[in-house]
Amino acid sequence: MSAPFVIIGAGQAAAQAAVSLRAEGYGGEIVMIGDETHLPYQRPPLSKAFLAGEMSADRLELKAPNFYPDSGIDVRLGTRAVRLLPAAKAVEIDGGIRIAYERALIATGTRARALPVPGADLEGVFSIRSIDDVARFRAVAQPGAKLVIVGGGYIGLEVAAKANRIGLDVTVVEGQPRVLARVACETISRYATDLQLAHGVRVLTSMGVSAITGTERVTGVELVTGEVLPADLVLAAVGAVPNLELAADASLAIENGIRVDAQARTSDPSIYAVGDVASFPSGLYGRRIRLESVQNAIDQAKAAAKAMLEGAVTYDPVPWFWSDQYDTKLQIAGLLDGFDRTECEGDVAAGRFCVRYFASERLIAVCSVNDPKSHMLARRALAAPLAQGSAA
């Protein structure tokens, strides 16, 4: 009897890989190892509907609880993979127990980047990466409480919107000259800032944080100017770090994440990696990329499942993302790194428009605000070179 396929991680990519293995006809044993105590669940609502209490925890679950035993998937929750042993083709979990594998799939995702300032470990400083994080946050997020969000990216602005809706007094502090500076042009940044200001959120840009103040519990956020913002709660929203330690310790190739090929295969032919933790070659953009998105988690997991069963697959997607803030839906198709000009179409004042990003006259990305049609057209336009390449 052959060893099982072992999936390390129990998030969106891990769950999709297990589902796809069964859909592809794999009848062998599947073992899924997750360090959380929750069955695989959606993460995007954590900073949106779930944070505001508009969605219950059971609605986050990707599959009904009985799906996994009914499908012959052995899900081991609250279990930490401590070592990956390629030579022995085994995963070591808590307690020194080893699980042999025929194929292993790493889907360990990311963790919140810690604030690199004194006081970041005080009670009342949060990140939003899990159901338990949100539960702890909601337990103390009473109306009127002062929340300081450090970081003006998508997560920071999404939390600002929901926290504002449930009655918190919100301030966003961003070190760059504008919010969304790394992921959007000035038009989008300005619109997002005006949206927050219109709802009463204070937004400070070009502003660094020097410390989180307090003794046992946070009382404020000290800015580099010396000003201290009073704070009952602080959210660290300064990005994420891929959980690649298992792979690195196992001497797998690392390059902005776990390096994989177009079949999601690592430098060890029996080990695959998918989702936020994996970097893969993009023919569309001519470089290696790592995507932190639901789209990538799902689609790359499907490709990996097929590849693990020796199916023919080449993973080269058009990236797409979305962000919900108040009644605004921002949708992004493509990657805008390296753009040299933009074109805006629509009515910015009315909150329905799109921005196209170009590099040397080539369309590389489109940001759509409350304009789903332009988003879908953008995805088709960006996919056209891929279709032409596969037909050539």
Query: Is 314 a member of any domain?
Result: no
Q: Please identify, among 192, 218, 238, the residue that sits at the C-terminal boundary of a domain.
A: 238
Q: For residue range 147-194, list pLDDT tens digits in order.
A: 999 999 999 999 999 999 999 999 999 999 999 998 899 999 999 999
Tally of structural domains, the chain: 3
Q: Among the residues of 283-366, which ranges form H helices? A: 294-308
Q: Among the residues of 147-202, which ranges form H helices? A: 154-165, 186-198
Residue 218 makes CB contacts below 8 A (sequence gap 6+) with 119, 122, 123, 124, 125, 212, 231, 232, 233, 234
Query: Is 316 a member of any domain?
Result: no
Q: Are residues 118 and 232 part of one domain?
A: yes
Q: For residue range 197-206, list pLDDT tens digits in order.
A: 999 999 999 9
Alpha carbons 310 and 162: distance in angstroms, whole number = 45
Q: Please identify, among 223, 238, 253, the residue that sits at the C-terminal boundary of a domain.
A: 238
What pLDDT does 2 receive?
Answer: 85
User: What are the distances in angstroms from CA 226 to CA 174, 211, 293?
Assistant: 16, 10, 37
Q: What percent of the chain has pLDDT over 70?
A: 98
Is the pLDDT higher at 386 or at 107? 107
Q: Are residues 347 and 202 part of one domain?
A: no
Angle (nearest 5°) at CA 209 between 138 and 321: 60
Q: Are residues 332 and 300 part of one domain?
A: no
Q: Are residues 10 and 67 part of one domain?
A: yes
Q: Are residues 223 and 151 part of one domain?
A: yes
State the residue range of the domain holding 258: 5-111+241-308
Alpha carbons 361 and 337: distance in angstroms, whole number = 14
* CATH number of the domain residue 100 falls in: 3.50.50.60
Query: Is 270 a member of any domain?
Result: yes
Q: Are residues 97 and 246 part of one domain?
A: yes
* CATH number of the domain residue 341 falls in: 3.30.390.30
Give the position of tokens 């932190």.
Answer: 292
Q: For residue range 326-371, list pLDDT tens digits in order.
A: 999 999 999 988 899 999 999 999 999 999 999 988 999 999 999 9
Mean pLDDT for 36-45 is 95
C-beta of residue 196 within 8 angstroms of C-beta of residue 203: yes
H or E element, residue 85: strand 81-85
Q: Are residues 334 and 230 part of one domain?
A: no
Q: Are residues 234 and 121 part of one domain?
A: yes
Q: Please identify, among 278, 308, 338, the residue that sits at the C-terminal boundary of a domain.
A: 308
Q: Are residues 257 and 225 part of one domain?
A: no
Q: Are residues 98 and 16 part of one domain?
A: yes
C-beta of residue 296 within 8 angstroms of C-beta of residue 322: no
Q: Are residues 229 and 139 part of one domain?
A: yes
Helix pair angle (12-23, 294-308), 10° resolution: 40
H or E element, residue 372: helix 372-391
Q: Are residues 231 and 220 part of one domain?
A: yes
Q: Full-prediction pTM beyond 0.85?
A: yes
